[in-house]
Amino acid sequence: MENLEKVKQETGTGDQILFGMPRLGTSIVLGIESWAIATLYSSGFGLGEFLTWFAIAMGYLTIAASQFLLGWLSDTKYTKLGRRKPYIYIFAPFLGLSFIFLLTPTYFLPDLNDTSSLFFWLLIWDIVFRASYAVTTPYQAWMAEIFRVDERPKVSQVQNTFNYIGNGIMSIFTILIVTTYIDLLKGDVNSTPPLIYILPVLIFGIITVVIFYLIAIFLPTEPYYEIRSNMVENLKTILKNKNFLLIVLMIGISGLGWTMITTTMLKYTEDALNLGFNEYLIVAISLLLCIFLALYIWRVRINKKGKKTTLLNVFLLAVIFLPITFLALIPMENYLIIAIIFIVGIGIILGGWFLFPYIVYADVAEDDQKKTGEL
């Protein structure tokens, strides 16, 4: 890596902004897939709960294997386009297309009342989506190969900015537009999607592909350097790092809970609270404000109390807060107040969690570098 640092081309602010832009597309498409697909297929298209969640679970099982495989393959062979660009060119179109296909089965299946066809459509395209999302692995690895050490914090800040913008767009689209389409489907499952739904879906899918292609075309190919990729040695190194193993275990186990929250949040507001468009508008604004405000509050608390204490606070708050969902069992004329309280709490909790995976992995990498002299 030291030899690589010596031959890197100097990059400017434009390169840093361009490199961070794919996070806009990936945040939007992954967020919509995570938040909306389960509700869209079960509450909207009428696919059974078991079949819906089974298909989504198969998609999640694809993630680990595809990200490991794509990362390893991109490490092993250097081409005329470098190590990372070929995989960006190949997998970015699959990511965009599978997203579009997932959200628009109406245009491809003759009858959405056919449960078998709908199930296999969801199963196949969710697996393709999750597998092709692994394009983010060579993309992220590329950062260390084209940007100097002193430039990487700026690039990460740009990525985070595009992440936040993407999450904001995703939240508004999911809570306002997807729910409107779901209500339309409850009358006729084969209803043609409204333009306000189909147009953003196409734009999001196309933007994701185009931005990845832009960075592959306009950013410099990383210089050649040798990567001694030995899976056995890498595994031994990982097993020696107890902090890394504990963090992976923590993120993996807690990730099950966070996944349940994000995938069922929309279904809860749609099926249990039965909100209307104006109420969803209030909920969407509340969620956006709370997530961005929470990001600031949790950052301040990290500086004052430290990462470990703050992370425990996030977990405890989630455990204490989530039983509020039982309030939907109380008969009421309108559940808007409960919806706002629920969304505000979820926004604060998720805002805290969103900070930590990036922070703790960076801390472990820095700690390991100090001990071993390698990053």
Average pLDDT over residues 230-241: 68
Is residue 232 predicted with pLDDT exceeding 90? no
Rounded mean pLDDT, 35-44: 93
User: Is the predicted pLDDT of residue 189 greater than 90, yes or no?
Assistant: yes
Element (H, E) at 250: helix 242-267
Residue 360, pLDDT score: 66
Task: State how far Cα 360 lies from the chain centre.
Answer: 18
* Percent of the chain with pLDDT strictly greater than 70: 89
Left (φ > 0), alpha (ψ -120 to 50) or beta: where does 306 sit?
left
Beta carbons within 10 angstroms of residue 296's beta carbon: 10
Cα 10 to Cα 223: distance, rounded to the nearest angstrom: 12
Give 228 or 137, the one with higher predicted confidence.
137
pLDDT at 56: 92
Q: Give the pLDDT confidence of 97-150 residue by residue, as tens digits.
A: 999 999 999 999 999 999 999 999 999 999 999 999 999 988 988 888 888 877
Model pLDDT, residue 332: 86
Dist CA 143 CA 211 (whole Å): 16
Residue 275 pLDDT more than 90? no
In this prediction, residue 159 carries a pLDDT of 87
Every domain of the chain and the residues it spans: 1-229, 230-375
**Side-chain-side CA neighbours of residue 194 (13 Å):** 12
58-95: pLDDT as tens digits: 988 888 788 878 878 887 888 888 889 999 999 999 99
Highest mean pLDDT among 236-240, 322-326, 362-366: 322-326
- For residues 43-51, average pLDDT: 94
Whether residue 327 is predicted with pLDDT greater than 50 in this model: the reply is yes
Report the pLDDT value the prediction gives residue 218, as an integer from 0 to 100.
92
Q: What's the pLDDT score for residue 7?
A: 45
For 242-267, how does the pLDDT look when each residue is reduced to its tens digit (9 = 90+)?
A: 777 777 777 777 877 887 888 888 88
Counting DSSP H helices and E strands in the chain, the numbers are: 15, 0
Give residue-wise pLDDT tens across range 283-302: 888 888 887 788 788 888 88
Question: 3-class SS at 79?
Answer: strand
Better pLDDT: 41 or 273: 41
Predicted confidence (pLDDT) at residue 6 exceeds the cutoff of 50: no
pLDDT (average), residues 295-324: 87
Lowest pLDDT segment from 108-117, 174-183, 269-278 = 269-278
Q: In the structure, what pLDDT confidence band is assigned to residue 168 with cuts at 50, 70 and 90?
A: confident
Decide: 279 and 336 in contact? Cβ < 8 Å: yes
Mean of all residue pLDDT scores within the chain: 85
- Residue 203 predicted with pLDDT over 90: yes
CATH superfamily of 1-229: MFS general substrate transporter like domains (1.20.1250.20)
Q: Which residue has the higher pLDDT, 281 or 193?
A: 193
